[in-house]
Structure 1
Amino acid sequence: MSTAPEPEATPAPGAGDPAEPATAASGSQTLERGLAVLLELGRHPEGLTLSQVATAAGLHRSITRRLLVSLDRTGFATKDSGGRYRVGPTAAELGAVAQPRLRETAGPVLHVLARTVGATACLVEASGEAAVTTVVAEPPPTGRASPTASAAATRSTGAPGVWRCSPPARRCRASRRGSPPSARRAT
């Protein structure tokens, strides 16, 4: 008596190996759209109307409206009296949670960079319209990273501000010109 081999079990959609990249079937399209809307609000601090958000996110107005209502209700977005949406306080609170980890991670990296190039290395973060230096690493003999709140400039002035606001191609040229000869050879 012969028995037929049992068919192999196949995992349900989205239940594959966690190491594999996510597929459309394993994610949430609504969540992804909501995050796209939130990112667009973040790119426009002056605020956007419903139509502007829909256009920027590439979504239909009715979908965008539902997403904005949910974002507003949960505090991730706010709507002013003129009908413009902006990033809300809940998003700011969530973002603040990530900043200390960025600074903790940047400290050792900046320390190595400062020691390698023999120059001060710093982390500059955008804060509203300001570019604020939040971590500084000095080359030897001190060689330690330390937080500072004293160095601030507008985002469009000062070396970090000019670099951040310039087009990417210009950033590369500017950063190579302003770097020491040893760093220029490495790029």
Structure 2
Amino acid sequence: MTTWTHPAVPARHDSGVAVLDKASLLLSVLEDGPASVSRIVRVTGLTRPTAYRLALALQRLRLVTRDARGRYLLGPRLSEMAVLEHGDRMLALAATVLPELRDRTGAGVRLHRRCDGGQLCVAAAESSPRVADAVPVGTAFSMRSGAVAQVLLAWEEPEVLYRGLARARFTAAALAQVRRRGWAQGAGALDGGAVTLAAPVRGPGGRVVAALSLSGPAALLAGGAAREFGGAMIDAALRLGEASDG
């Protein structure tokens, strides 16, 4: 049996199954960042057809994705698996971070994750239990509209993004604005008179693994207050992301 190694790659790819060893080699290159097929071939010693065929197969499994330049990089499924392993730490920290952000802003604060093609509220600190826009933990929503849906979709790989846009009420231009600004603003989840701000929570590899949101009346979250509270929300999202990366 041939062991697929290369001087530039640590010799840790001998599983006894040749195709898995080759896939492991390819993924080890992407651990250092995006790479073209040419770089993968150069570093691993794989033939170009083999490297290309493996990359496409791993992309179908969402273990690999591609950037705007066509280079391959580690895919969202790896981050999702890491979140499942480390998510308890993020949720434990959310029990502190969400109430702190609520007390600072006066808005309802929630943490959302992708689930079965939709979004799921996994933690919340409401400004008042009587708020009309309150969202109980465990409530699921579609990805068709709203600031949270935009954040959870904006940084997805192209194929997922295009499928999401086909069903969404927002546009590709709206998602481009979210990526430029770093957070989204839209109507509340339940009450059309409310405003929701949402920011990405990033896990291993910088992938978006959750969305942190603020919801409240337009008078509270409009204009300059939206920018001020948006900064506080992004800081809180960074803290949560560090927990998921731990």
| TM-score (normalised: structure 2) | 0.38
Q: Per chain length, whose mean CA-contact separation is higher, i.e. which structure has more relative contact order (CA < 8 Å, sep 6+)?
A: 2
| TM-score (normalised: structure 1) | 0.47
Q: Which has the larger radius of gyration?
A: 1
